[in-house]
Amino acid sequence: MLLGCTLSMMLCAPPANCDDDLRSLELYNGEGTEVVSGTRSPRPASQTAENITVVTSQDIDAINAHTLADVLSYVTGVQLEMTRTPGTPVNFEVQGSNFNHVLVLLDGVPINNLADNFPDVSSIPVQLIERVEFVKGAASSSWGNALGGGINVITKSPDPERAVGGMVSASYGERETFDARAELSGTINRFGYYLTGGKLRSDGLLSNNMSDKNNFYGKLQYDLPARGSLNMTTAVMDGESGMFGAGVNRANIDSTLVVSTIATQYQLMDHLRVEAALVTTESSAKLLRQGLVAPGTVGTMAFETEESRLGGNIQLSWLDDLQRITAGIDYEHVSAHMVNGIALVDLLNRRADRVGLYLSDTLTLGRFALTPSARFDSTGSAGDHFSPSFGVTYALTENSVLRGYTARGYSLTSLNRSASTEKVWTSQLGFETGDIPGLWLKGTLFRNDTWDIISGSTRAITYERHVKQGAEVEAKTIPVYRTSLTTGYTYIRGTHGDSGPHLNGVPKHTVQVGLRYQDYSAFQAHLNGRFIDWDNPGTGKYGAIIWDLHLRKTVEFSETSLEIFASVRNLFNGDQYLDAVYRNPGRWVELGVRCNF
């Protein structure tokens, strides 16, 4: 009721008090803006049948985020199972799909580990992010191993306007929580560069939840004499963190991830483009866990893993006003080795060659756009998989669209078992409009039918079928009295099969609310609230709304700017967590300063 009244008041306010002359909000990637590429087939939002959300670097700056994990909290349809000290691992869900069903990519390169398909989103610093594209629902026709969706992190490019520019930033919060960052960017003739590095550490906002992370990212770009470019990138993210601690039960992890690419793109003809890349990924982790192994007896478990990916891809794209055709091949050789650090026994030692062939088309017929896609994957460890999808959009007006999408997908939840593939059939219906004066509105109905879900212990594995269906609604207003409102709501109903027993622990209701104020003196204030009804009778607590307040003031000089920012997280000291082992921190405050030059 309060949200509805607030929205009504804002929309009914006199037009003379609006901060701009816009009567409506355009679709993301509207006329003259960049296309969405999260489906590997670049297309404008009006022709995108999938349910996609885009978060930009400006959105990320507004919430004073530290890592990609912080960004997930603000995306409709995404739920974090634990939100704790910055830099520590988190689990998350997309429309109820488990974390190991979602493929996380850094410029199209997967960062999910091979042992159990876990993506460590807390390892990706936000400073390198230009934007993030969230594809919700099966994305296997584009990316292969993406049953529950794909999250593609698109990194920043060299500044084309000047030879040298950059930024330095530092923030400090409770429990010695410290985040320092720097970046340099520029272009000299045909050569461009972007370099960034930082350190994130904390004594831990919760017991045994410390973090000490370092990161570096570099991108070198060279414009070829004709119509093409050559890029080289390297990302290094390493450090340690405490995963949890309660009594004698403790766990710590020390990990390293290195991703390197050499990529090129070349415009062969006016409408024909070729892209190719070589990719290598190296990762290692050491997990130390202590806990009760018998009544009154405390034991220690240690696991060490080393994983690698070596491969590449080549893609051809034909882009014109009638058709957008994309075809490509992915190849990677993967290996994973896990040992018990105490008994020195191999727990996993496997290699596999993976090949994926994909084809996607966007055919424009008047107001309709048809998007058939298909992909064939030979996994080398868990069989072959065919993943078709079909989407259709209909443009009601220049700024309103109807969507339909259906797709089959899969995820490899472990390289340790050949029978580790879980499968899904996703169906979606949606609409998006910016034609309502002062309001942008988006809604999606979805149904995810997932089968071959592995359940039970290693000695008694069973395979289940889960159906999760529901709806998403998002809304955003134009500024009124320099204040705008954003809201998001997700409903999910989970059952065993079509009409079987209720699934506990599936987030039934998720609400996100944001208020943004910006005045003419470059002062900004953001108040964001989120609530998740985990629908779980276990040890969790989720009766409170978690509110975060972010403040920022910018002072402009001749060629530099200085930003002073502050955040109060969990403003009212509420509790919201799925399990008591992963309880959320209470209220905490941080202050920071950022200089752009």
Q: What is the DSSP secondary structure assignment for residue 521, as one 8-state letter?
A: T
Tens digits of residue pLDDT in 455-509? 765 556 778 999 999 999 999 999 999 999 999 999 999 999 998 899 988 999 9
User: Residues near 204 by Cβ (< 8 Å), separated by ≥ 6?
Assistant: 85, 175, 210, 211, 242
* DSSP collapsed to 3 states, 422-489: EEEEEEEEEEEECCCCCEEEEEEEEEEEEEEEEECCCCCCEEEEEEEEEEEEEEEECCECCEEEEEEE
How much is the pLDDT for 13?
Answer: 37
Given pLDDT bands bounded at 50, 70 and 90, which one contains residue 155? very high
User: How far apart are alpha carbons 558 and 577 in whole angstroms?
Assistant: 47
Given pLDDT bands bounded at 50, 70 and 90, which one contains residue 525? very high
User: How far apart are alpha carbons 466 and 496 in whole angstroms?
Assistant: 5
Residue 543 CB neighbours (<10 A) = 10
User: How far apart are alpha carbons 287 and 80 in whole angstroms?
Assistant: 22
Reply yes or no on whether the pLDDT at 295 is more than 70. Answer: no
Comparison of pLDDT for 216 and 20, the residue scoring more: 216
Sheet holding 149-155, edge to edge: 51-56, 129-136, 149-155, 102-106, 109-110
Closest CA to 113 of 250, 341, 281: 281
Query: In whole numbers, what is the pLDDT of the chain averaged over residues?
Result: 89
The length of the chain in residues reads 597
> Is the Cβ–Cβ distance between 102 and 110 less than 8 Å?
no
How much is the pLDDT for 294?
Answer: 56
How much is the pLDDT for 422?
Answer: 93
Closest CA to 286 of 301, 297, 270, 275: 301
Tens digits of residue pLDDT in 371-391? 999 999 999 988 999 999 999
How much is the pLDDT for 29?
Answer: 38
Closest CA to 301 of 332, 343, 262, 361: 343
Tens digits of residue pLDDT in 432-452? 999 999 999 999 999 999 999
How much is the pLDDT for 139?
Answer: 94
Give the residue-averaged pLDDT of 230-235: 97
Tens digits of residue pLDDT in 533-559? 999 888 888 889 999 999 999 999 888
Residue 516 has which token pair?
A: 């943004």
Tens digits of residue pLDDT in 356-374? 999 999 999 999 999 999 9
Reply yes or no on whether the pLDDT at 7 is more than 70. Answer: no
How much is the pLDDT for 214?
Answer: 97
Stretch (H or E) spanning 58: helix 57-62
User: How far apart are alpha carbons 36 and 48 in whole angstroms?
Assistant: 8
Tens digits of residue pLDDT in 391-411? 999 999 988 999 999 999 999
Comparison of pLDDT for 202 and 348, the residue scoring more: 202
Residue 541 CB neighbours (<10 A) = 15
How much is the pLDDT for 356?
Answer: 97
Give the residue-averaged pLDDT of 332-352: 89
How much is the pLDDT for 26?
Answer: 47
Q: Tell me the percentage of the chain whose pLDDT exceeds 70.
A: 90
How much is the pLDDT for 458?
Answer: 53
Closest CA to 46 of 431, 419, 414: 431
Given pLDDT bands bounded at 50, 70 and 90, which one contains residue 38? low
Q: What is the DSSP secondary structure assignment for residue 9, as one 8-state letter?
A: H
Residue 58 has which token pair?
A: 């400006």
- Burial label, 290 (beta-carbon count in 10 A; 0-12, 13-18, 19+): middle
User: Residues near 155 by Cβ (< 8 Å), separated by ≥ 6?
Assistant: 106, 107, 128, 129, 130, 194, 217, 219, 233
* Predicted model pTM: 0.91
Q: Tell me the percentage of the chain whose pLDDT exceeds 90.
A: 73
Reply yes or no on whether the pLDDT at 273 is more than 70. Answer: yes
> Is the Cβ–Cβ distance between 444 and 429 less than 8 Å?
yes
User: Residues near 268 by Cβ (< 8 Å), separated by ≥ 6?
Assistant: 274
Give the residue-averaged pLDDT of 18-34: 40
> Is the Cβ–Cβ distance between 508 and 490 less than 8 Å?
no
Given pLDDT bands bounded at 50, 70 and 90, which one contains residue 1? very low
Reply yes or no on whether the pLDDT at 349 is more than 60. Answer: yes
User: How far apart are alpha carbons 426 and 409 in whole angstroms?
Assistant: 8
User: How far apart are alpha carbons 508 and 472 in whole angstroms?
Assistant: 12
User: How far apart are alpha carbons 125 and 76 in whole angstroms?
Assistant: 21
> Is the Cβ–Cβ distance between 187 and 205 less than 8 Å?
no
